[in-house]
Amino acid sequence: MLIHQNRRNFLRGVGAMLALPTLESFGARNDDKVFGHPNNRLAYIYFPNGTATGSWKPRKVSSDGKILQLNQWMEPLDAHRKDLIVTGKLWTPRGNGHGAGTATWLTGGAYNGHKNDAGGISADQIVAKHFENTTPLPSLELSTSGEGSFSGSLPRNCLSWVARDIPAARETVPRAVFDKLFRRAEEGFVDRSVIDLVNEQSKSLKRKASAADNRKIDEYIEAVRSIERRFEFAENNSRKLADDRALTDTLRRPQSGIPSDHEEYVKQMLELMALSFWSGATKVSSFMLDHGQSNRYFNFIPGVKGTWHALSHWKDSSGKTEDDDGVTSWDNIGTKKQMYNAVTRWHHAQLAWFLTRLKQLKDSDGVSVLDRSMIMYGSSIADGHAHYERDLPVLLAGGGSGLLNTGQYVRPSRDTSMSKVHFSLLKRMGLPIDRFAEAREELPGI
């Protein structure tokens, strides 16, 4: 009875943790030659509602695929043109649309709504599992707080999956993310005495427990050590900031809640993602710019009116379709398409800001974080009005430690699964895998 009570108290003190599935289920082989760079970081940035046909293709491309000029909607990214790979003819053969497309954008699977099954573990969580013992945070999942009638929809709000039927928790409040990265122990991050107590109690408990219970205790001890690593990381980061006045003067703990200014909100989250890479908190992160069927208003953009989802159905301008708010209407489809494209351009501007920030941040050897990062940015829908699954808007950015062939427009001769992009990035992160979803080879040209 004493053993059971001690075990119960121990588990109650430590708390429950979800175990991530192993990489072997994704075809990992120990004898594979590892291709990648140990300092690489990987970011996935997702936006909903697609883009208008024609808005993703560069204006000028050389005969050998070099991007010479971006189009007017991608123009905010021009300063980073040599850091980009713009793609064409990618598609998702098993997942598409606002719900299924969002849920499977990182899994390469098909979404089963009856079982809340995304068809597999997401690419970012495969990376997180691979590096879970080398960084304080295995991964960082971010999202804005969604707007619209589908803000509570599970598939529309889940990009990262720790198992095919278990979504990863995501952070929507900037201060909560900041506290994971930078708050000191005396400010309430972690109470070390609790960690010490659990470690001490576990030693006594293991001497009395069965072999099966010992294995379970070991699992929980590793979870405790993970918490301790996060504790030490936050402590060290805070000291680092205190020693560097340039950082201290510019980095402030965000106010509680969510900023009312949407651009400020997005930039705060992007800044935190950048700092998580620079500080070594994690090697992989994802950010949903909104849920998969966002009805957010972008009236703060000059000349734009209506919600994002309504604008994506740009061929309906009456204001009387099911996508509309019953108040907003447009003069014609040309005007509405321009507004839709303006929203696309606004998001490109936020991405450009993020890339600039990564370029400003330097590793200890002076190499920029951007040069050692790979950012996949895109949507699960091609043209928003038709909900096309072909010719998805996807681009890559960053140097990947020299492993990405940037400055290129990569458009295969035939429709190609986006899973090849995921496979390519996982290989460049150094994962010893021979497939991802249905892809067994990389996307040529990147």
Residue 190 pLDDT: 46
Pairing of strands 41-46, 416-417: unpaired
Kindly state the percentage of the chain with pLDDT values over 90: 62
Query: Is a pLDDT exceeding 90 seen at residue 287?
Result: yes
Residue 15 pLDDT: 36
388-392: average pLDDT: 89
Give residue-wise pLDDT tens across range 113-171.
889 999 999 999 999 999 998 998 999 999 999 877 778 888 999 999 999 999 999 99
327-353: average pLDDT: 97
Query: What does the alpha-carbon distance between residue 57 and residue 30 come to, in Å, rounded to a whole number?
Result: 40
**What's the CA dihedral at 58, 62, 65, 71 to 10 degrees?**
-10
What sign has the CA pseudo-torsion 54, 357, 377, 168?
negative
CB atoms within 10 A of CB 404: 24
Query: Is a pLDDT exceeding 60 seen at residue 53?
Result: yes
Residues 6+ apart with CB under 8 A from 210: none
- Closest among 207, 202, 204, 234 to 219, alpha carbons compared: 202
- The two structure tokens encoding residue 205: 């408990």
421-436: average pLDDT: 97
Query: What does the alpha-carbon distance between residue 34 and residue 41 come to, in Å, rounded to a whole number?
Result: 16
User: Where are the alpha helices (H) located in 158-210, listed in sequence order?
Assistant: 174-182, 192-208
Residue 14 pLDDT: 38
CATH topology of domain 37-183+261-428: Alkaline Phosphatase, subunit A (3.40.720)
**For all residues of the chain together, what is the average pLDDT?**
84
388-396: average pLDDT: 93
Query: What does the alpha-carbon distance between residue 75 and residue 82 come to, in Å, rounded to a whole number?
Result: 13
Give residue-wise pLDDT tens across range 251-282.
567 777 788 899 999 999 999 999 899 888 89
Residue 187: helix, strand or coil by DSSP? helix
Query: Is a pLDDT exceeding 90 seen at residue 110?
Result: yes
Residue 9 pLDDT: 46
**In whole angstroms, how far apart are CA 160 and each of 46, 116, 275?**
11, 13, 20
189-201: average pLDDT: 55
Residue 84: helix, strand or coil by DSSP? strand
pTM over 0.85: no
Query: Is a pLDDT exceeding 80 seen at residue 101?
Result: yes
Contact 437, 419 (CB under 8 A): yes
Give residue-wise pLDDT tens across range 214-244.
775 676 566 556 555 655 665 666 566 556 5
Q: Can you list the pairs that 153-156 forms with residues at least 24 positions away whose Cβ atoms lie under 8 Å?
A: 153/99, 153/291, 153/292, 153/293, 154/103, 154/116, 155/99, 155/100, 155/102, 155/103, 155/111, 155/113, 155/116, 155/118, 155/292, 156/48, 156/98, 156/99, 156/102, 156/103, 156/291, 156/292, 156/293
Query: Is a pLDDT exceeding 90 seen at residue 298?
Result: yes
Residue 147 pLDDT: 78
Query: What does the alpha-carbon distance between residue 115 and residue 111 come to, in Å, rounded to a whole number?
Result: 9
Query: What does the alpha-carbon distance between residue 168 and residue 439 come to, in Å, rounded to a whole number?
Result: 24
Residue 18 pLDDT: 27
Kindly state the percentage of the chain with pLDDT values over 70: 78
62-81: average pLDDT: 98
Range with the lowest mean pLDDT among 88-102, 305-319, 351-365? 88-102
